[in-house]
Amino acid sequence: MGSNCLGSSFDMKYQHIVWDWNGTLVDDAELCVVILNQILNDYGKMPVDRAFYLDNFSFPVCEYYKSLGLPSCGPEYQEISQRFIEEYRKKHHICKLQKSSVKMLSYIKGCGISQSVLSAGNIADVLDFVEYHKLSDFFTIISGVYHTNATGKSDVAHKHLNQIQACTSEILLIGDTLHDFEIATDLKVDCVLYSKGHNSKNRLLEASNSVINDLEELVGLID
């Protein structure tokens, strides 16, 4: 794979790539497990390991917390949700970008294909995190939610889609969870799932055959 694409965007299958953030472009699953276990410990619950997390994590997060015996509604849920976010903000800098993420962002940009971020995270945080990793220039749109309820990104997905200057058949969404697949299905756009994020490969394969283990596999899918 070269640093630049030889064809114009009109020669490509897709005109726009929508990226998920957490787990797809940034490798933060381990940090999320650590913070979750701190909360579980405070509630006298058994910790989870990464394998369990990858096999069970889902949106809305309140339902996932309920399955772990944690508060899933009301003020207590709001409290632990806010605590999780505050701990993440303090430690997000320890998370590295996923392998080959910058290489692929550069490759896609060189192909003349526009790119955006659609995240389930709070928009202010997402903007800060993208800027921290110096990736802002790759994206024409960065979308996130305006709350900390961890309910997913369904409420902002259609607004995001309406800002993209491409037909749905020309858009590819890249994510790492079943929620990303659900969003893509709702938007009627193609989807590729990345197996190194917040859901295990086996779980992703239950929903889709378009699962990759390395972001560089995208080259053959977008050409």
pLDDT in tens, 121-167: 999 999 999 999 999 999 999 999 987 676 789 889 999 999 999 99
Is the pLDDT at 10 greater than 80? The verdict is no
Count other C-beta atoms under 10 Å from residue 49's C-beta.
Answer: 9
Q: Which domain holds residue 180?
A: 9-27+96-222
- The pTM score is 0.93
State residue 32's pLDDT score.
98
Nearest-10 Cα torsion for 65, 155, 50, 102: -160
Q: Which two tokens stand for residue 60?
A: 């809305």
Give the integer Cα–Cα distance in Å for 109 and 163: 18
CB 208 within 8 A of CB 191: yes
Whether residue 213 sits in one domain with residue 149: yes
The CB-side HSE value for 140 (13 A sphere, CA atoms) comes to: 17
Give the integer Cα–Cα distance in Å for 40 and 84: 11
Whether residue 140 sits in one domain with residue 165: yes
Residue ending a domain, choose from 41, 65, 94: 94
pLDDT-derived band at 60 (thresholds 50, 70, 90) equals very high
As a whole number, the mean pLDDT across the chain is: 93
Instruction: Give the β-pairing of 141-145 and 211-212.
Output: unpaired
Whether residue 57 sits in one domain with residue 38: yes
Written as one letter, the residue type at 160 is H
Whether residue 113 sits in one domain with residue 82: no
Give the integer Cα–Cα distance in Å for 171 and 115: 10
Whether residue 57 sits in one domain with residue 23: no
Only one residue has tokens 């928009």, namely: 123
Is the pLDDT at 2 greater than 70? The verdict is no
Whether residue 161 sits in one domain with residue 74: no
Residue ending a domain, choose from 39, 65, 94: 94
Q: 2 lies in a domain? A: no
State residue 223's pLDDT score.
76
Residue ending a domain, choose from 57, 76, 94: 94
Rg (CA), the chain: 17
Is the pLDDT at 75 greater than 50? The verdict is yes
Whether residue 216 sits in one domain with residue 113: yes
Whether residue 68 sits in one domain with residue 43: yes
Whether residue 205 sits in one domain with residue 101: yes
State residue 7's pLDDT score.
47
% of the chain at pLDDT higher than 70 = 93
Is the pLDDT at 71 greater than 50? The verdict is yes
Count of domains observed in the chain: 2
Is the pLDDT at 88 greater than 80? The verdict is yes
